[in-house]
Amino acid sequence: MAAPMLRGCCLGRCWALACIDSSSRHGRGAATGFTSSGKRGQSFVAQQPLLTAQKSRKGEHKWAAVVGLEIHAQIASNSKLFSGSQVHFAAPPNSLVSFFDASLPGTLPVLNRRCVEAAVMTGLALNCHINKKSLFDRKHYFYADLPAGYQITQQRLPIAVNGSLAYSVCVGKKWRQVITKTVRIKQIQLEQDSGKSLHDELRSQTLIDLNRAGVGLLEVVLEPDMSCGEEAATAVRELQLILQALGTSQANMAEGQLRVDANISVHHPGEPLGVRTEVKNLNSARFLARAIDYEIQRQINELENGCEILNETRSFDYKLGFMPEPNLPPLLLYDTASLPAGADPQQVINIDRIQEQLPELPSETREKLIQQYGILPEHSFALLNEVGLLEFFQNVIKETRAEPKKVTSWVLNIFLGFLKQRNLAVNESPVTPSVLAELLNLLDRKVISSAAAKQVFEELWRSKGKTPSQIVSERKLELMQDEEALERVCHAVMEGHPQVVMDTKRGNPRAINKLIGLVRKVTHNRADPTVIKEILEKQLSS
Amino acid sequence: MLKGYVPPYNATVVQRLLDQGAVLMGKTNLDEFAMGSGSTDGVFGPVKNPWSYSKQYREKRKQKSHGENEDSNWLITGGSSGGSAAAVSAFTCFAALGSDTGGSTRNPAAHCGIVGFKPSYGLVSRHGLIPLVNSMDVPGILTRCVDDAATVLGVLAGHDPKDSTTIQDPGKPFMLSSLTDVSKLCIGIPKEYLVPELSSEVRSFWSKAANLFESEGAKVIEVSLPHTSYSIVCYHVLCTSEVASNMARFDGLEYGHRCDIDVSTEAMYAATRREGFNDVVRGRILAGNFFLLKENYANYFIKAQKVRRLIANDFVNVFNSGVDVLLTPTTLSEAVPYLEFIKEDNRTRSAQDDIFTQAVNMAGLPAVSVPVALSNQGLPVGLQFIGRAFCDQQLLTVAKWFEKQVQFPVIHLQELMDDCSSVFEIEKLASVSLKQ
């Protein structure tokens, strides 16, 4: 029996009973996108029987959850972090592997400048302090997809620390109220990605693809300032948008460019924090919130039943510590004040210059939209939430005289609705911004009615090549411009339906709509309902 | 572990030599993964010191023992780069490359009567050098005379973008000047290096060398490197830790030996590594893993790093006080017979034999072993000069002067003598290469 999902959680204390069906409970790592605790790459689900709704509601008011995140973002660079092999998604297996990536003896790491710049940009965008000196370490563990037996990372002294990420949660009725929350960023570090291993159970073998081994990653560690799956998912979404705006990572979760591990614990408010468990390798935005909430609920259930929370990752945590990476000297960054005189610009990185050249961040973009076009905050979020949608919107605005509010409404409701229904991306839309702009112009000039416009839009979507004006004239959708003729029609309809007229005069609010409907029918929907109403009211009162 | 492995690329040092027209004659034997001080623990068997067959040694032995099988008591070369030392010593090539992490180039050079040069850390690229201890390894140069070593260094030294620990300067070939006046030189003799285990012969040569400098006008003073006694232990902690880390990549997956077991990845790793590594290597990996354990890391690894800093500072302080070059023994004694050497295990031997050489690696300094004279048994003894960081040229200049003074004899190998007797009549010095 499944329990209902609750949304719109209370601030500061968030609990949700996740809706679980049997397939997701026994999910394999790759398919559903999450593994809980346990070994890397293997799926491990808490062996917890699904509780009935009644049982899980016991004592629910007394719990608070605490969620921290470790986010791995693949850096958008041409070559890997320490070697010159290329970075490409979905290339043939083991076709992008240099001698260093394959850990051939005698090969040495050489740091990729672009990756360092990406780390600095991201650190600055997240209000971090950039460490002018940072160090590289080796983290040892044995796994088939880690050829060297260790990963080069930055444990002791990472490149950026102590930042913050602001995100907004929509609450209240119809999620109209926007609240800004902040999560602290503990650190950002550069590290190597591992290869991929595919377990072929049928033939009892493991296939290793090293294309991804050595690709540069930014690990962003978010402190446990979040309290539920929704907050975590929103924070991740905002980070995604920031990374995409900076160009430092494409941050596409489906392609594995953004991976999230969550640390979750529950406690009673006022008491110390509980034992943490890790939910690893979340690579689907949709599943992230649900998986976290499920784990929160699982812990609550365990504790309420008198059990203890076990941190299973500890057992896998390979016991070797970190060792400094001896082949890489400390990474030194400069600002304008500390830049050595006569330094070769190819060999040094100036933090100040990078700060100056930072592109506009999503929060700034949203603010500008609100200021410039007077749209609502939640609409500014929606516009940035879809790839290419903002650009589409801005292109439409450029070519139309219609009000921004109108454009927003059309883009977010009708246009986006059509896209979603057909599972298309913005760049796959058959309707271009110019075409939509033309349509809106017709609407703005009152050449057609709102209803007619929607019809035209549907037609535009189906058949390419036709302009809105063409469709309008083909289907004779122009609004009647002749007001006198309309007055005659109204008069005729009133004459033909005296009972309805009586009702209207008696004050029945719905009666007038009936009259309007009748007039529209006669005019084949070519009259503007607002004008019809005006004429009828004038005629009724006379 | 690397049986049958053919590397798909050239090390930078090899490539630079090839680019200058060098002819690569072959690869030489060594202790497995350069772990050892005898060149006795390689997969292809132990290396024999050419001096075992020299007239100088044989004649001395005839006087002592009778009716002994000529070949049964051959001598070790020292190690770990013993094969390279033997090759140069036996006139098979102009020069050979070795590695030096704790003395692996200088030690066999001393035992084989040739020049063994360890450059400053960061001067010569390690790209292509299978790492033992990344923070201490350097490629070593083995030649028959100091000028030849300088020639090779001139080709090899300088920035390599593929090795992030090399210096920025590009480096260029140079000629060693011939020092005539050593009166401005200050030679330091570290008192802690006078250990009881030092053979009286080597001690005597060391003393004579110091006197030689003094009599030619140089200032010779006793100096102190106070942390010397800690260096062996410190070296072993850091060395085994880095080894454990560097050897983690040998899992049989991507290259090299892979065992037949395919039950699971873990089982495959375990069997491959057991089969592919000898006891010495496995021992060091286990030790290193111990030191790298989270609960041990601070007490062992970090402490050893701190001690390393102290040791390096000892040298800095001495050089800052006006000393140009340090003079020490290279080895405790001359080469010993193989049968005697193997009575102790590898680790014990390494601890003993590295005593004069490994502190230099921890400090990253340049050092060179120069053959000084033959022992009573007719075997070569070498002495070591240690220089300031990146003053390799100056160091070699001093070494060249010393080499000219001592006139170390050419090895008399019967086969060579038969072929090139005329050469040896004219030349007393060891090099049969370019002569100014």
The percent of residues above 90 in pLDDT, for chain B, comes to: 69
User: Tens digit of pLDDT for each residue in B331-366?
Assistant: 999 999 999 999 988 878 888 889 999 999 999 999
What pLDDT sits at residue B251?
Answer: 81
Q: Model confidence at A28, in pLDDT bands (50, 70, 90)?
A: very low
pLDDT of B206 over the 80 cut = yes
pLDDT 10s digits, A454-504:
888 888 888 777 888 888 888 877 877 777 888 888 888 888 888 888 887
* Residue A508 confidence (pLDDT): 80
Determine the pLDDT at residue B423: 53
pLDDT at residue number A341: 86
* Residues A99-113: b if buried by 16+ CB within 10 A, e if exposed: bbbbbbbbbbbbbbe
What percentage of chain A exceeds 70 in pLDDT?
86
Contact of A213 with chain B, judged by CB distance below 8 Å, is answered with no
Phi, psi of B5 (to 5 degrees): -80, 125
pLDDT tens digit sequence for B366-413: 999 999 999 999 999 999 999 999 999 999 999 999 999 999 999 998
Contact at CB, A109 and B163, closer than 8 angstroms? no
The residue annotated as part of the active site, out of B84, B104, B125, B241, is B104
In whole angstroms, give the CA distance from residue A103 to residue A80.
Answer: 14
Q: What per-residue confidence (pLDDT) applies to A448? A: 83
If pLDDT is split at 50, 70 and 90, which confidence band does B7 have? very high
**Which residues, other chains included, contact A298 with Cβ-Cβ below 8 Å and sequence gap of 6+?**
A46, A48
Banded pLDDT at B420 (limits 50, 70, 90): low
Q: Are A85 and A79 in contact (CB under 8 A)?
A: yes
As given in the structure block, the two tokens for residue A193 are 């990605």
Q: Tell me the per-residue pLDDT of B218-250, one tens digit each, with 9 for 90 and over.
A: 999 999 999 999 999 999 999 999 999 999 888
Q: Tokens representing B285?
A: 């990996």
The residue that leads in pLDDT, B432 or A324, is: A324
Q: Where are the alpha helices (DSSP H) in A374-474?
A: 377-384, 389-399, 404-409, 416-421, 433-444, 450-462, 468-474
User: How would residue B162 be classed by pLDDT, with cut points 50, 70 and 90?
Assistant: very high
pLDDT tens per residue across span B290-342 = 888 888 888 899 999 999 999 999 999 999 999 999 999 999 999 999 999 99
Note whether A439 and A465 are within 8 A (CB).
no
Return the amino acid letter for B183.
S
Q: Residue A39 has what pLDDT?
A: 36
Which pLDDT score is estimated for A16? 30
Which of A209, A320, A322, A332 should one mutate to test binding to chain B, selecting the residue with the greatest count of B CBs within 10 A? Answer: A320
Residues of A in contact with B165 (CB under 8 A): 108, 326-327, 329
pLDDT of residue A61: 59
**Which pLDDT score, from 0 to 100, does residue A50 have?**
32
**Above 90 in pLDDT, residue B116?**
yes
Averaged over B14-42, what is the pLDDT? 93
A326 touches B: beta carbon within 8 Å: yes
A108-122 average pLDDT score: 97
Contact A88, A96 (CB under 8 A): yes
Q: Among residues A184, A194, A202, which one has the least CA distance to residue A66?
A: A184
CA A436 to chain centre: 26
Average pLDDT over residues A138-150: 88
- For residue A187, list its beta bridge partners: A161, A221
Least trusted range by pLDDT, from A223-237, A269-283, A302-316, B194-208: A302-316
Q: Which residue has the tokens 């080069």?
A: A152
DSSP per position, A342-382: T--TTT--BHHHHHHTPPPPHHHHHHHHHHHH---HHHHHH
The tokens describing A82, both together, are 């320490």
Residue A153 pLDDT greater than 70, yes or no:
yes
Query: Residue A529: which residues within 8 A CB-CB, separation 6 or more?
Result: A449, A516, A520
Q: Is B164 a catalytic residue?
A: no
B253 to A208: CB separation less than 8 angstroms, yes or no: yes
What integer pLDDT is reported at residue B262 of this predicted model? 77
What does the pLDDT look like over A399-427, one tens digit per residue?
988 888 889 989 999 999 989 898 888 98
Residue A138, chain B, CB below 8 Å: the answer is yes
Chain-chain contact of B245 with A140 (C-beta, under 8 angstroms): yes
Most confident of A450-459, B152-161, B273-282: B152-161
Asked about B80 being catalytic, the answer comes back as yes
Find chain B residues with C-beta within 8 A of A328's C-beta. 164
- Report, as an integer, the average pLDDT of B99-118: 97
Residue B148 and residue B431: Cα distance in Å, rounded? 8
Q: Say how far apart CA B75 and CA B84 lie, in whole Å.
A: 15
DSSP state of B337: B
Percent of the residues in chain B that have a pLDDT greater than 70, as a whole number: 93
CB contact under 8 A, A148 and B127: no
Distance CA B129, CA A107 (A): 8
Distance of CA B342 to the CA centre of its chain: 20
Give pLDDT, residue A34: 38
- Of all residues in chain A, what percent carry a pLDDT higher than 90? 42
The neighbouring-strand residues paired with A69 are A222, A262
Task: Inspect the interface and report whether the beta carbons of B265 and A319 lie closer than 8 Å.
Answer: no
Residues from chain A that touch B99, judged by Cβ atoms under 8 A, are: none
Q: How confident is the model at residue A45 (pLDDT cuts 50, 70, 90)?
A: very low
Mean pLDDT lowest for which of A363-367, A481-485, B134-138, B170-174?
A: A481-485
| pLDDT at residue A262, rounded to an integer | 94
Kindly identify which residue of chain A lies nearest to residue B294, measuring between CA atoms.
Answer: A321
CA dist B141 to A340, A520, B36, B116, B330, Å? 36, 99, 18, 6, 16
With CB atoms and an 8 Å threshold, state whether A106 touches B164.
no
pLDDT tens digits along B51-64:
999 999 988 887 66
**CB < 8 Å to A314, chain B:** none
Asked if B12 is an interface residue toward chain A (Cβ–Cβ < 8 A), one would say: no
- The mean of the pLDDT values for chain A is 82
Q: Is the pLDDT of residue A3 over 50?
A: no
